[in-house]
Amino acid sequence: MRAFVLERYGKNLALTLADVPAPELRDDEVLVEVHAAGVNQLDSKIREGEFKLILPYRLPLVLGHDVAGVVVKVGPRVRQFKLGDEVYARVDDFRIGTFAEFVPVKEDSLALKPEGLTMEEAASIPLVALTAWQTLVEKANLKKGQKVFIQSGSGGVGTFAIQLAKHLGATVATTTSTTNVALVKSLGADIVIDYKTQDFEDVLRDYDVVLNSQDRKALEKSLHVVKGGGKLISISGPPDPEFGKESGAPGFVKLIMRLLSSGIRRRAKRRGVGFSFLFMKASGSQLREITRLFDVGAIRPVVDRVFPFESTNEAMAYVEAGRAKGKVVVKIK
Reported as a pLDDT band with limits 50, 70 and 90, residue 311 is very high
What stretches of 102-216 adopt beta strand conformation (E)? 102-106, 110-112, 147-150, 171-176, 191-194, 207-212
% of the chain beyond a pLDDT of 70: 100
With a CB cutoff of 8 Å and minimum separation 6, the contacts of 295 are 114, 115, 116
pLDDT, tens digit, 9 for 90 and up, residues 245-272? 887 778 888 898 899 899 999 999 999 9
| 230 within 8 A of 275, measured Cβ to Cβ | no
What domains does the chain contain, in order, with CATH numbers?
2-125+301-331 (3.90.180.10), 128-277 (3.40.50.720)
| 137 within 8 A of 67, measured Cβ to Cβ | no
pLDDT, tens digit, 9 for 90 and up, residues 66-83? 999 999 999 999 999 999
Q: Which DSSP string corresponds to 59-121?
A: SSEE---EEEEEEEEE-TT--S--TT-EEEEEPPTTS---SBSEEEEEGGGEEEPPTTS-HHH
- Give pLDDT, residue 240: 87
* Helix/strand number for the chain, H first, E second: 11, 16
Cis peptide bond N-terminal to 21, omega within 30: no
How many Å apart are CA 61 and CA 70, to the nearest integer? 23
| 213 within 8 A of 128, measured Cβ to Cβ | no
Rg of the chain over CA atoms, in angstroms? 19
With a cut of 90, say whether residue 213 has pLDDT above it.
yes
With a cut of 90, say whether residue 104 has pLDDT above it.
yes
**Collapsing DSSP states into helix, strand and coil, what is residue 234?**
strand
Nearest to 134 by CA among 333, 10, 316, 289: 289
Average the pLDDT over 96-101 and give the result.
98
With a cut of 90, say whether residue 54 has pLDDT above it.
no
| 23 within 8 A of 102, measured Cβ to Cβ | yes
With a cut of 90, say whether residue 31 has pLDDT above it.
yes
Reported as a pLDDT band with limits 50, 70 and 90, residue 53 is confident
Q: Which amino acid is at 319?
A: V
pLDDT, tens digit, 9 for 90 and up, residues 118-136? 999 999 999 999 999 999 9
pLDDT, tens digit, 9 for 90 and up, residues 166-211? 999 999 999 999 999 999 999 999 999 999 899 999 999 999 999 9
Helix (H) / strand (E) element for 232: namely strand 226-234
Reported as a pLDDT band with limits 50, 70 and 90, residue 142 is very high
Nearest to 55 by CA among 26, 211, 63: 63
Q: Model's pTM, two decimal places?
A: 0.96
Reported as a pLDDT band with limits 50, 70 and 90, residue 225 is very high
As a whole number, the mean pLDDT across the chain is: 96
pLDDT, tens digit, 9 for 90 and up, residues 283-293? 999 999 999 99
